[in-house]
A and B are shown apart, each in its own frame.
Chain A
Amino acid sequence: AQSVTQLGSHVSVSEGALVLLRCNYSSSVPPYLFWYVQYPNQGLQLLLKYTSAATLVKGINGFEAEFKKSETSFHLTKPSAHMSDAAEYFCAVRLNYGGSQGNLIFGKGTKLSVKP
């Protein structure tokens, strides 16, 4: 079965520091992976997605993620945190087999805090 694990339910960084949010997946076949961001009391917004093209994926708001098959990881990074980056971030993997093909499996989320 496919699943997603996000390491760290809370991450705190200083403004201007590197942001690193970790995501590991389990999949027996090549996965399709997504990162979403959620601001308080709002829906989810797509940051970026990996669909088996380039392994380094650039997204909105200066975020990027690298797909590493050998490590089964898809970590999200941003070189310099901004106060507006404070939100909850979700990693998701798309099911690519079976009757539920196409559905997303979400990690439990990581809340990012940015200190001035």
Chain B
Amino acid sequence: DGGITQSPKYLFRKEGQNVTLSCEQNLNHDAMYWYRQDPGQGLRLIYYSQIVNDFQKGDIAEGYSVSREKKESFPLTVTSAQKNPTAFYLCASSTGLAISTDTQYFGPGTRLTVL
């Protein structure tokens, strides 16, 4: 089955620790995205990558870092510099082609809780 997987589903972190969230897709998509979701705030874009070895900051990139060494993988690191990291994190991918019709497909999400 083609799709997007995120792991782990639940993640607990102590304050001051870095943690990495995994996102893998087997849809052969060029573009990948990371969003943060907080109650009542919708989704906010953290980072996106339109092609391997390239990525761009989104609206709330401070305290986060990413890499895109492989087409199918786009891991997100939540660093200790992120002041309020407890949230639900969603990864998405799209073909990156045909701006008008390109659809973003979402993974199941990772819920991060800082203790």
Q: Which residues of A contact B (CB under 8 A)?
A: 9, 32, 34, 36, 41-46, 49, 51-52, 90, 94, 96, 99-104, 106-109
Q: Which of B78-103 contact A (CB under 8 A)?
A: 88, 90, 92, 94, 96, 99-103
Q: Kindly list the 5 A-B residue pairs having the minimum CB-CB distance in the complex, ordered from nearest.
A: A43-B106, A108-B42, A44-B106, A106-B42, A106-B43
* Binding site secondary structure of chain B: strand
Check if B40 sits within 8 Å of A9, measured CB to CB.
yes
Among A36, A41, A46, A49, contact of B109 (Cβ-Cβ < 8 Å): A41
Q: Which residues of B contact A (CB under 8 A)?
A: 4, 6, 31, 33, 40-45, 48, 50, 56, 58, 88, 90, 92, 94, 96, 99-109, 111
Check if A101 sits within 8 Å of B99, measured CB to CB.
yes
Q: How far is the CB of A33 from chain B (nearest CB, A)?
A: 11
Could you pull out 30 A-B pairs where Cβ atoms are within 8 angstroms? A9-B40, A32-B99, A32-B100, A34-B103, A41-B109, A42-B109, A43-B6, A43-B108, A43-B109, A44-B43, A44-B106, A46-B103, A46-B105, A49-B101, A51-B100, A90-B42, A90-B43, A94-B99, A99-B56, A100-B56, A102-B31, A102-B99, A102-B102, A103-B33, A103-B48, A104-B45, A106-B42, A107-B42, A108-B40, A108-B42
